[in-house]
Amino acid sequence: MSRSILVTGATGKQGGALIEHLISKSNDFTILAVTRDAKSPSANRLSSKSPSIKLVQGDLEYPIELFKAAKEVSPNQKIWGVFSVQAVNFKGGKIEDAPEVKQGISLVDESLKNNVEQFVYSSVDRGGSEKSWNNPTNVPHFATKNMIEQHLKKSTIGSSMKWSILRPVIFMDNLEPGFQSKVFMASLRDTMKEKKNVLDFMF
């Protein structure tokens, strides 16, 4: 295991799912699983799944310290890849001042400084592959992701770091029973009210 992958949101659903997939397919990478508390029950459960998983205690607010901690956990390996996902934390004000934007942009910058070769960013779809680039929308947590995407695209020009952007449309969480699902389905109904054939299929 000569290379390592830094996975943010490791104890969350996206980061956790990625780690599950990695350990089921390959033993070629060391997985540097980022968590705010390496002693938490969820972190301990995660690390017990495979010897290739190493916990990295850190905070996305402080990417320099995060990379330093990752290197201390796995000192003899290059951080080859980074999986970037941030929690939605918009409380009003300017989009560029949102914690999600600051964390996402800082992680891109620090990855470049540390010669990361592959950067994967988890974003959101905003109208298809081509339209998403120039369509931040009026939804705050969509606009934040568009800003991070733009920074990733521009800052890597002329660098050796390759990148991929994942733009999911919805998650299963949106379809599970509960308040969140009701809000999502009501929004979908109102947005697509002109497309009756789609609504008939879904409701």
Sequence ranges of the domains in the chain: 3-169, 172-203
At 32 the pLDDT is 98
**pLDDT for residue 144 is more than 90:** yes
pLDDT tens sequence across 8-21 = 999 999 999 999 99
As a whole number, mean pLDDT of residues 137-163 equals: 95
**pLDDT for residue 128 is more than 50:** yes
At 201 the pLDDT is 46
At 76 the pLDDT is 86
What does the mean pLDDT of the chain come to?
89
Measured N-to-C along each axis, helices 99-113 and 63-73 cross at an angle, to the nearest 10 degrees, of 50
**pLDDT for residue 5 is more than 90:** yes
More confident residue, 107 or 92: 107
CB 62 within 8 A of CB 106: no
Residue whose tokens read 């996206």: 14
The 3-class secondary structure across the chain, one letter per residue, is: CCEEEEECCCCCHHHHHHHHHHHHHCCCEEEEEEECCCCCHHHHHHHCCCCCEEEEECCCCCHHHHHHHHHHHCCCCEEEEEEECCCCCCCCCCHHHCHHHHHHHHHHHHHHHCCCCEEEEECCCCCCHHHHHCCCCCCHHHHHHHHHHHHHHHHCCCCCCEEEEECCCCCHHHHCCCHHHHHHHHHHHHHCCCCHHHHHHHC
Distance CA(53)–CA(70), nearest Å, equals 12
- The fold adopted by the segment(s) 3-169 is Rossmann fold (3.40.50)
At 102 the pLDDT is 97
pTM across the whole model? 0.86
pLDDT tens sequence across 171-203 = 666 667 777 677 767 766 776 666 655 545 444
**pLDDT for residue 70 is more than 50:** yes
Per-residue tokens: 32? 């540097």
